[in-house]
Every structure is written in C-alpha cells, then in structure tokens.
Amino acid sequence: MRRPFISIIIPLYIIDERFFGNLEKFRRLNYSQFEILVVCDQKIKLPKQPNLKLILTGKNRTGPAEKRDLAIQIAKGELCAFIDDDAYPHQDWLRNAVSHFGDKQIAAVGGPGLTPPEDNFWEQITGLICLSPLCGGPTQHRFKKAKATLVEDYPAYNLIIKKEVLKQVGGYGSYFYGGEDTFLCLKIIKAGFKILYNPEVMVYHHRRRLLWPYLKQISNIGKHRGYFAKKFPQTSRRLFYFFPSIATLLFVFLLIFSLFSTVVGQLFLGFLLAGFITAFLSLSAKASFLRKLLAVLGIFLTHLTYGVAFLQGLLTKKIVR
C-alpha cells in the first residue's frame, strides 16, 4: 500500500502541560511519512523532533479555521490530518485512513473521538453524556466506534482531507469558531466529493468538565448550528437539531402553566419523570449509579443549554467571533 506524506495540523490555543503530553503520544504513530505543524499566536518551545514545526500566525488572536488555513499553505503533505490541541491519535490513526484515498470521490476521512481513559471524574461524566443516544442521536458515531458510513458533516478534531481538495474549495475560509468544520464539509459536498466515516480512524479527545466548561462549549455549538440551519440549510436544517429547542419550549410552557393548573402540574411532573427514566436508561450499564445520576443532570442541562443557544443562533444576523 502506498504511503502518502501527511501533514498533521494542530491549531493551538490552550497551552498547558496536557497539550505537551498529548504531543508526546504522536511518537507512537505506526506511520513514518508525516510532519506535525503546530499553529499558534505566540511563540512557544516545542520538543525537539525532526518532523515537528511551529507556525506563528503573527496575530494576537486567531480562531482554529484561520490557523488551519495558514498551515494548509505551508503543508508539504498530500493529505492534511486535522486534530485539536486537546486530542491525541491512536497509533494506527493514519495507517487506517490512507487506504480510502485511492477512491477519487473520497475527499475526506474522519473517525471517532473517544474519551481518553486518563480523563478525570468530571470529564468522564461528560464522556458518558456524549455516549447517550439522547445527546448524540444520529451523530453518536463521533464519540464511539460505529458502522462505517458516508457523512455530510464531520468535526475537525479528527478529519483527514486531500490537500488538493482543500485548495479547490478555498480551505476553511471563515472566521467561525464552532461550525468552521461544518462550513468546510458543506463546501466539499457541494464540490461533488464524499466524506467517509471509518471507526478505525480513531483519536482520543479530552472532554470538557461538567458543568460550566462543558455547557459553555454546548452553548457555542448550539448557537452556530442554529445560525447554520438558517444560513446553510443543506446540511444543518435537520429536524434532529431542532429537538432540544422544542423540548426546551415545552419545558418552559409546562413549568409556567403548572403554577396555575394542578392538571398541568401533574403533566409537568410526569414529563420530568419520563425524561429522567429515559435518560437514566440511555446510559451505559457499566457506569456507576452516581455517575449515571450526574450524567442525567448533564443530559437535561445539555438540551436546555443547546436549545436556548440554537434559538439564539436562528435569530442572529451574523456570527461574530
């Protein structure tokens, strides 16, 4: 099998010890034909590796799309492998991806971002929430190994793309911070190419802690998806994305009217109980009772936060970073 040269691109924002720990794990890759391009707004000291290079943006603050576009222009690889600064690859990440690029229609290959086993308690709770079908729904394959399939939209924490296609569609070409990968995938699909999900193309993606860091991320995702549902309906105007907002409006409606009606109050309590039981049963049987209870709370807050943010995105005229 031919092994193309690959440029691994990491847009660096959070500079901490965990990032350098993640970077060390790239040494385990079962693939030799690659370079690693770390793109950052400030100068940092990277470990001494012959295939590792720091790219400075020359700006005070840039988003991930801007950082990735800068790296694409410098990348020597035939393929550009995008991964976030809070993730690291499985050792066979690149090897399992390259065989699919023999198909001229396949422009990009993505795979799951699994919860790292070393994540702390609160990050593991978030990982548990992501694995619930109530939160992941039809996008659950992004967080666990699932059946290989073609997709229209895939996150850039684990996305490998032909560089010639990236140049053809103008790269990321946006200032979106959250949704920048959706915008890119839409351009790839419109250009007539396909995006493949392969469960064996794995990375380990650290989760945000429950509650605030995680909910802040969910709010950003929801706002962008709401804006995209209005602005780019081809891949974002899906009924699934509207469900949290519908559930949130129903929750608020029942809550308000339960104050004036015993019947509505009973209906509201029944609604909450049914939601609790459904959420609890949706979680992994291997998880402890305490983790499940916290995850149920997280699922409820996920839908509430996303639902409100999605509506905000629908009403937003322009997303400003």
Beta strands 79-83 and 113-114 are unpaired
Cα distances (angstroms) measured from residue 49 to each of 24, 53, 258: 10, 8, 63
Q: How confident is the model at residue 1 (pLDDT cuts 50, 70, 90)?
A: low
Question: Residue 171 pLDDT more than 70?
Answer: yes
Q: Give the DSSP per-residue string, 25-79.
A: GGGG-S--SEEEEEEESS-------TTEEEEE-SSS---HHHHHHHHHHH---SE
- The tens digit of pLDDT for each residue in 216-237 reads 999 999 999 999 999 999 999 9
Question: Residue 320 pLDDT more than 80?
Answer: no
pTM of this prediction?
0.95
CA atoms within 13 A on the CB side of 55: 24
Work out the mean pLDDT of the chain and round it to a whole number: 95
Instruction: Give the mean pLDDT of 193-213.
Output: 97
Say whether domain 6-209 belongs to CATH 3.90.550.10.
yes
Q: What residue spans in the chain does CATH classification 3.90.550.10 cover? A: 6-209
Q: What is the DSSP letter of 109?
A: E
- The tens digit of pLDDT for each residue in 276-308 reads 999 999 999 999 999 999 999 999 999 999 999
CA atoms within 13 A on the CB side of 279: 24
Q: Looking at the chain, which runs of residues are DSSP E strands?
A: 6-11, 34-40, 52-56, 79-83, 87-89, 106-110, 113-114, 149-151, 158-162, 194-197, 203-205
CA atoms within 13 A on the CB side of 139: 15
Question: Residue 187 pLDDT more than 90?
Answer: yes
Lowest mean per-residue pLDDT among 1-5, 14-18, 297-301, 302-306: 1-5
Question: Residue 319 pLDDT more than 90?
Answer: no
CA atoms within 13 A on the CB side of 230: 15
Instruction: Give the mean pLDDT of 165-188.
Output: 95
**Per-residue confidence (pLDDT) for residue 321, from 0 to 100:** 64
Tell me the percentage of the chain whose pLDDT exceeds 70.
99
- The tens digit of pLDDT for each residue in 55-99 reads 999 999 999 999 999 999 999 999 999 999 999 999 999 999 999
- The tens digit of pLDDT for each residue in 90-135 reads 999 999 999 999 999 999 999 999 999 999 999 999 999 999 999 9
**Per-residue confidence (pLDDT) for residue 16, from 0 to 100:** 92
Question: Residue 2 pLDDT more than 90?
Answer: no
Q: How confident is the model at residue 318 (pLDDT cuts 50, 70, 90)?
A: confident
**Per-residue confidence (pLDDT) for residue 14, from 0 to 100:** 87
